[in-house]
Amino acid sequence: MNTELKLSAFARYAWFVLAYNIIVILWGVVVRASLSGDGCGQFWLTCGGEVVPSAPQLKTVIEFSHRVTSGL
């Protein structure tokens, strides 16, 4: 019984991780389709040289949110 409970908990976790990764991939499609890939400029790890953009445009918000969800 305890083994089944552990397997069930692991299965739920695995399904959650799969769903989360699919959402991140689909959000990447939104980034690509909306041409927001350069929303953070040519900076990687920071967005426009800042850790959190202070006055972002829509494309910056889209790109930054994708970076945050991809990094989790």
Active site positions, annotated: 63
Residue 18: how many CA atoms within 13 Å on its side-chain side?
Answer: 6
Nearest-angstrom CA–CA distance, 46 and 12: 34
Secondary structure of residue 37 in the 3-state scheme = coil
